[in-house]
Structure 1
Amino acid sequence: MQANSRAIVSNQEGIHKDLESIVLKHKNSQFLKPIAEHSRQAFEQICQFVQFSDVDKTVSKPIIFDACCGVGESSRQLAQKFPDHCVIGVDKSADRLNRQGREDYPNLMLLRADLNDLYRLLVDSQMPISQHKIYYPNPWPKSQHIKRRWHGAPVFKQIVQLCPNIELRSNWLIYLQEFQAGLTLYSIKSQLSTIENPLPAITPFEAKYHASGQTLYCLQTL
């Protein structure tokens, strides 16, 4: 496979100068945006799928939460690799989710939802999540868009609270360095490394970036 994906161009040369103040502000405040009804409905679908008991906080199987799953390729691979887990792939775009079909495995659910709402609902419910994956999120590389990145958003607090086992991949090193710095402000340790040979690629983006000769990075909590 050959590709010519352009490398990310940014007016930032390193971690954003306001990152710490932004993360700490959100850490010490409450995200008060009203949760949409369709988000509550999506949450109820998840509860039914994993057989979540709100009484004793149990689920039928360990849960892998695949955020920003796009066309769902990563979720399908995870469902195949972990047949003894429930895999929940979430994206805000119904078009992306429908491009390659829907649930191919009995332990897989692909769902359209607003993650800004869903993260809060999951954390508030204390649903146990075993693994949390964020593969190749939109980098929002312009410096003025720092608050659109997950670590610059108000919901970063819930992202951190959702699950201690977080894996994040990107072809933009600064994104992962910032996310890692945000985790440090929550006293969470993580390891940043390069992905040498991503075969099979976990997402179409990973395949494309690798074929274009770009360096791929992985951040994993410890």
Structure 2
Amino acid sequence: MARKKLIRFQENTEKPNLLEPGKPLYETIKGNWHTAYFNNEHPIVVELACGRGEYTTGLAALIPSKNFIGVDVKGDRLWKGAVVAESQGLQQVAFLRTQIQQLDNFFAPEEISEIWITFPDPRPKDRDDKRRLTHPKFLQLYQQLLAPDGLVHLKTDNADLFAFSLQAVKEFGVRDLQFTEDLYQSELMTYHYGIKTKYEQKYASAGVKINYLQFRFK
């Protein structure tokens, strides 16, 4: 397994759709995604903690009128998403290797039009609450980077994380909040475009309910 990762890391250095330390665009992309990478003015949709990028590539295949960026710190996972994007000819897809808390180093204010948070680590320990991607410090970061009317989505199978997230966004002050604790029995089901990550397929098939919410900042 270690050898496979090393091979993938080496291949990542040669992938034009994967931005990581050491590549020229990595240091200069902030505020320049439309001109330096995508060569269009389409809205930018970001998937945070994207893993293998199933939502990034899935949405890109369905919506050619938008640009999609998957963000994760794990290079071996991003390799998979980059390979899928290449094999499907998805030109409006990029992957960015960085930690979420450093997102403002790579995006200018209002540069993002939409954010997806798909099955993030629930960080169940109380002392880890500030590392949850719906903690107020992250919400403040997203608010800074989202364009006016920008939309945020969260999907998770973890009931505790969902309860924490719902309380956090309500206290933060958002608008157009919609949510469900059972996505596949909800009218909100259409918002997820029928895309399921490998992780979601495993738990949904076992009968675990999928929680979903969406909102805009005031």
Q: Name 1:214's counterpart in structure 2.
A: 208
Secondary structure of 1:158's partner? helix
- Residue 131 of structure 2 is aligned to residue 161 of structure 1: no
Amino acid at match of 2:94: M
Of 110, 119, 122, the match for 1:136: 119
Higher strand fraction (1 or 2): 2
Amino acid at match of 1:160: Q
Q: Which has the higher contact order (CA 8 A, sep 6+)?
A: 1
Give the RMSD, CA atoms, in angstroms. 3.1
**Does the CA contact (< 8 Å) of 1:39 and 1:118 recur in 2?**
no
Identity between Structure 1 and Structure 2 (%): 22
* 1:180/1:78 CA distance change after superposition, 3 Å: same
Q: Name 2:3's counterpart in structure 1.
A: none
- Count residues in correspondence: 181
TM-score by length of 1: 0.70
Structure 2: unaligned runs, 5 residues or longer: 1-20
Deviation at 1:178, TM superposition (A): 1.7
TM-score by length of 2: 0.71
Q: Name 1:152's counterpart in structure 2.
A: 135
- Comparing 197-206 and 132-141, the one that deviates more: 197-206
* 1:184/1:153 CA distance change after superposition, 3 Å: closer
| Per-residue Cα deviation, 1:121-180 (whole angstroms, up to 9, x for no partner) | 52xx22432211000000011223212212336333112333330000000122122222
Amino acid at match of 2:214: Q
Amino acid at match of 2:54: E
Higher helix fraction (1 or 2): 2
| Per-residue Cα deviation, 1:52-107 (whole angstroms, up to 9, x for no partner) | 7xxxxxx6111111111101111001101110101011111001111351533011
Q: Name 2:34's counterpart in structure 1.
A: 50
Deviation at 1:116, TM superposition (A): 0.8
Distance 1:146 1:38 in 2: 32
Secondary structure of 1:64's partner? strand
Deviation at 1:43, TM superposition (A): 6.1
Distance 1:155 1:68 in 2: 13
Matches within 5 A, 1:82-93: 82-93=63-74
Structure 1: unaligned runs, 5 residues or longer: 1-36, 53-58
Q: Name 2:184's counterpart in structure 1.
A: 196
Q: Name 1:179's counterpart in structure 2.
A: 165
Of 110, 114, 117, the match for 2:99: 114
